[in-house]
Amino acid sequence: MERQVAKPAPLKHDILQARRGNRRAVKDKLTQLGVSFGGIMVFVALLLIFFYLLYVINPIFASASVTPKASIAVPPSQSQVLLLGSDEQRQQLYRVLNDGSVDFVSAVNQQVHHQALPLPAGATITSAARSMPSQQAFAFGFDNGQVLLANIDFVVTYPNNQRLITPTIRYPLTTPTLQLASVDQAVRQLAFAYSKQQLSFIYADDAQHWHLVRMDGEQNMLTEEVEWQTSQQQLPDTPSKVSQQLLTPDQQQALLLSGNKLFIYHIQQANDVSLQQVVSLERANARVTDVELLAGASSVLVSYSDGVVAQYFQVNGENGRRYQYIRQFSKLGQVDDLASEFYRRSFATVSDSGQLTLLYTTSERQLLSQQLPVENLQAVAFSPRADGLITATTDGLQLFDVSNPHPEVSWSALWQQVWYEGYPEPDYVWQSTSGTDDFEAKFSLTPLAFGTLKAALYAMLFATPIALAGAIYTAYFMSSKVRSVVKPTIEIMEALPTVILGFLAGLWLAPLVESHLPGLLMLLIFEPIGVLLVAYAWSISPPVVKQWLPENYQELMLIPVVCFIGWLCFQLSPAVEMWLFDGDSRLFITQTLGLGFDQRNALVVGIAMGFAVIPTIFSIAEDAIFSVPRHLSNGSLALGATPWQTLTRVVLLTASPGIFSAVMMGLGRAVGETMIVLMATGNTAIMNWSMFEGMRTLAANIAVEMPESAIGSSHYRILFLAAFVLFLFTFVFNTIAEVVRQRLRERYSAL
C-alpha cells in the first residue's frame, strides 16, 4: 500500500532540528522506534512459530550418538560371554560366562563382585543358553542331565533417601537345578523360554535327537507355591547338524538353524509338536553366521558372513502364518555380535573390526556407525532403557552412553509404505498407541495427509461452484441495495464457530443424510433443472407478470423455489428409496455396490466444511469481480455483447487471478479446519476416495492425540511435524493467493 503521508524533508531551520533534545523530538523518535519495533514483532511472531516447530521436530531426524562412560577391569577369562547387561539405572553391570561364573560390576565405584552359582557337584557344563534380553535369564545344561535356570534381578532400596541397587540372582523354579534328562545323558545345545506359568526347554541328546520339555505351573491356592507338571516330547524331522537353537518367548515355536536352513517347529501343545516350516535363508556367496530374535520376538534377524543382516517375520498367507524375508541391512562388516534392545525394534551389530552400527528395522534407518574404542571385544548388549551399551572384552566391561531417542522415525517410515510385523504387506499405517507393551507405534503421515486432502477436496467440490456462482451474481448482476444486505449475511457465515457447524454436521446432518440419501442425490439433479424451468417460465411469461417483480430481485424470488425443490426432494426421498434401492439405500451401497458406509462420511464433511469455506471464497472472489473497472464491461456492452458474454469474456478473464486466489484461500481454510472434521467423521485413518467413508485429517489427529502424548516423545514430535506440514500447506496456498492478489491490484490500478 502506498504511503499516504510523507514526512516533510527536514529543513535547516526546522524547529525540531534546531533544538535537539527537545522533549517533543525525543517523544517523536521514541514513538517511531516503538512502533517500528511493534511492527517487526508481527514478523518475528510468524518466524517464531516457524522456528519453534522446527526446533521441536529437529531431534527426530538427528542420528544417534554413543560415547564412552565407564570402563571397569574384571578378572580376565578365556570363556565366552553368555549374558551381559545392567540394571535400569546403569549402575550395576553384570557378566555371565559360559563356564558358569557371574560377575557383578559397579559402574559407580568400580568394584567387582563375583558370585558363585550352585552348580551340581561333579558335573561339567555341556551347554549354555540365554533368554530374550528383557528377561535377563540364562541356563546351563550339565552332563548329568540337569539344568540350572537363573535370572539376574536388581533390588532397589532407599536407605537414607538414597537409592541403593543391589544385584541378586534368582531362580524361577523352586530349586536352582532341575533334572531334565536321565542321569547319564548330557544336555547339549540347550535353549529355553519361560513365563510365570509355563517353562520350555529344548535340547539335543548325544544321538542328536531333539527333545522338548514343557512344564506347566499351577499355583497352589493354599500355599501359594507353584506346582509344575512336566511333559516331554521328541521333536520330529530334525536336521542332523544344528548350529543354533532358539525358543520364542511365547513358547509357541522352536527354531533350529542347520546350514542355511531354519527349521520352525510348532510347540504350542507339548503333545502335538510338528515341523511347521523350513525357511531357506540362502544367499549368494554367503553363509548364515547367527540367528537372533528381535524385541517383541516376532522377527528373526539373520546375520550373514558378507556383512548383511536380514529380517524375517511371519506373514499371514494362503498357507497360514509363515516366515518370510522382509528387508535387509548391508555393509555391516563381518558381524561378530548382534544385540537387540529390550522393547524397541532397534538392534546393534559389531563387526570383527570393532565397527558398531545401530539400526532400526521398520524405519530402515542406520542411526550410527562408528568405531568402538575397545579391543578384543567379546560381546555387546543394551541396557534396559536402551540408554546405554555394555561391551565385554577379555579383561574388562565398558559402559557407553547411548542417545537414540527417536530411531523409529525416518522419512521413509513417515511417508512411504512400511512392512510392519504381523501385516500381510507393506502399508501406510497410523496407529500411535495400543494397550500392549510390545506394541510398535506406527507413524505414517501419509493416511493423515491423504485424509486432509480428501476432506478439503470434497469441501471444495461443494463450495467452489456455489461460492463462485454466488460471487459472480452478487458482484455483477445484483443491485447495490440488495448487495449491501446479501454480502454481509453470507460473510456472517464465516464468523459462525466451526464447532457448531461440526456439531450440526455430526448429530443433525449425518443422520439426515443417511436416511435421505436418495433425496440428497435428487437435490443435486433437480435443483438446477427446477431453477432453469422457473427461469424459462419467467422468460416466456407475459410482461404483466414480469412487472409484478423487478428483475433485480431474482435471487429473492428464487429462495422459495429452491426451498420448495429441496423440501420436495426430501419428501419424495423415502418413496424413491423404496423404488430404486429396495427401501434401504445404505444396504444397497454396502451390498450391491460393495462400498463401505459410515454414517459420518466424506459427503457430510464436504457439505459441512463447504459451508465454512463458501464465505471465504465468496468474499474474496466477489471483491475481485466487483473491482473490475466498469469501463471494461461498459465498453463490451456498448459493442453489443450480452451481459453474459461480457461477464465470461471480459469480467471473469480480468478477475481470474482474484478468483484463483479466492479458491486458494478457501483451500487453505479447508485444509486446516479441525472441529468440523473431528466431529463429522469417524476419524479412522483409512485411504480411499469413497464419499461414503470417513477420514482422519492431520488437524483432527493433532486435536485428538496431542493432549495425551508425552512431552519429548517421538509421538509428540511427530504431532508437531504434522502441525508443521499443515503450516507449510497453508503457507504455500496463502502466499500464492496473496502474491496473485497483489499483482492483480497493481494491474487494476494500471487499467
Q: Which residue is listed with cell 517375520? A: 313
- Asked if 569 contacts 525 with a C-beta cutoff of 8 angstroms, the reply is no
- What gap in Å lies between CA 48 and CA 60, rounded to an integer? 20
Pick one of 228, 325, 423, 473: the residue that binds another protein (CB under 8 A): 473
**Cβ at position 409, least distance to another protein in Å:** 17
Neighbours of 222 (CB within 10 A): 6
Q: Which residue is listed with cell 548350529? A: 243
Q: In this chain, which stretch among 122-130, 265-273, 303-311, 488-496 interacts with another protein, using CB under 8 A?
A: 488-496
Pick one of 11, 18, 19, 49: the residue that binds another protein (CB under 8 A): 49
- What gap in Å lies between CA 722 and CA 451, rounded to an integer? 13
**Cβ at position 684, least distance to another protein in Å:** 15
Residues 698-737 that bind another protein (CB under 8 A): 699, 702-703, 706-707, 711, 719-720, 723, 726-727, 730-731, 733-735, 737
Phi, psi of 741, deg, nearest 5? -65, -40
Pick one of 563, 580, 593, 653: the residue that binds another protein (CB under 8 A): 563
- What gap in Å lies between CA 277 and CA 526, rounded to an integer? 63
Quick one: which H or E segment has residue 547? helix 543-548
Pick one of 46, 525, 580, 593: the residue that binds another protein (CB under 8 A): 46
Contact letters for another protein, residues 574-593 (x by CB under 8 A): x---x----xx---------
Pick one of 72, 275, 286, 493: the residue that binds another protein (CB under 8 A): 493
Residues facing residue 347 across a β-bridge: 340, 359
- Assign 3 to helix, strand or coil: coil
**Cβ at position 300, least distance to another protein in Å:** 40
Q: In this chain, which stretch among 23-31, 71-79, 198-206, 325-333 interacts with another protein, using CB under 8 A?
A: 23-31
Phi, psi of 675, deg, nearest 5? -65, -40
CA triple 171-176-177, angle to 5 deg: 140
Strands laid side by side in the 210-219 sheet = 188-194, 198-204, 210-219, 226-234
Residues facing residue 371 across a β-bridge: 355
Q: Which residue is listed with cell 522533549? A: 23
**Looking at beta carbons only, is 355 or 674 nearer to another protein?**
674
**Looking at beta carbons only, is 351 or 697 nearer to another protein?**
697
DSSP code at position 418: B
Q: In this chain, which stretch among 129-137, 240-248, 426-434, 492-500 interacts with another protein, using CB under 8 A?
A: 492-500
Residues 504-533 that bind another protein (CB under 8 A): 504, 506-508, 515, 527-528, 531-532
**Looking at beta carbons only, is 152 or 655 nearer to another protein?**
655
Size of the site for another protein (CB under 8 A): 123
- What gap in Å lies between CA 163 and CA 157, rounded to an integer? 6
**Cβ at position 679, least distance to another protein in Å:** 6
**Cβ at position 176, least distance to another protein in Å:** 42
Contact letters for another protein, residues 651-680 (x by CB under 8 A): --------------x--xx-xxxxx--xx-
Pick one of 112, 286, 308, 534: the residue that binds another protein (CB under 8 A): 534
Contacts of 113 (CB under 8 A, 6+ apart): 103, 104, 105, 106, 167
- DSSP E strands in 318-421: the ranges are 320-329, 335-340, 346-351, 355-360, 365-371, 377-382, 388-393, 396-403
**Looking at beta carbons only, is 193 or 702 nearer to another protein?**
702
496 makes contact with another protein (CB under 8 A): yes
3 makes contact with another protein (CB under 8 A): yes
Q: In this chain, which stretch among 154-162, 177-185, 350-358, 534-542 interacts with another protein, using CB under 8 A?
A: 534-542
Burial zone of 704 (CB within 10 Å; 0-12 exposed, 13-18 middle, 19+ buried): middle
**Looking at beta carbons only, is 556 or 593 nearer to another protein?**
556
503 makes contact with another protein (CB under 8 A): yes
16 makes contact with another protein (CB under 8 A): yes
Pick one of 502, 518, 519, 657: the residue that binds another protein (CB under 8 A): 502
Output the CA–CA distances (angstroms, integers) from residue 673 to 76, 230, 611, 693, 702, in the order listed: 66, 62, 12, 18, 12
356 makes contact with another protein (CB under 8 A): no
Pick one of 555, 572, 623, 637: the residue that binds another protein (CB under 8 A): 555
466 makes contact with another protein (CB under 8 A): yes
465 makes contact with another protein (CB under 8 A): yes
1 makes contact with another protein (CB under 8 A): yes
Pick one of 139, 187, 614, 718: the residue that binds another protein (CB under 8 A): 614
Contacts of 360 (CB under 8 A, 6+ apart): 344, 345, 346, 367, 407, 408, 410
**Cβ at position 273, least distance to another protein in Å:** 50
**Looking at beta carbons only, is 188 or 717 nearer to another protein?**
717
**Looking at beta carbons only, is 298 or 709 nearer to another protein?**
709
441 makes contact with another protein (CB under 8 A): no
Burial zone of 1 (CB within 10 Å; 0-12 exposed, 13-18 middle, 19+ buried): exposed
Pick one of 9, 12, 13, 43: the residue that binds another protein (CB under 8 A): 43
- What gap in Å lies between CA 489 and CA 474, rounded to an integer? 12
Phi, psi of 143, deg, nearest 5? -75, -5
Residues 51-80 that bind another protein (CB under 8 A): 52-53, 56
- Assign 278 to helix, strand or coil: strand
**Looking at beta carbons only, is 108 or 575 nearer to another protein?**
575
- Asked if 694 contacts 601 with a C-beta cutoff of 8 angstroms, the reply is yes
**Looking at beta carbons only, is 253 or 464 nearer to another protein?**
464
Residues 189-208 that bind another protein (CB under 8 A): none
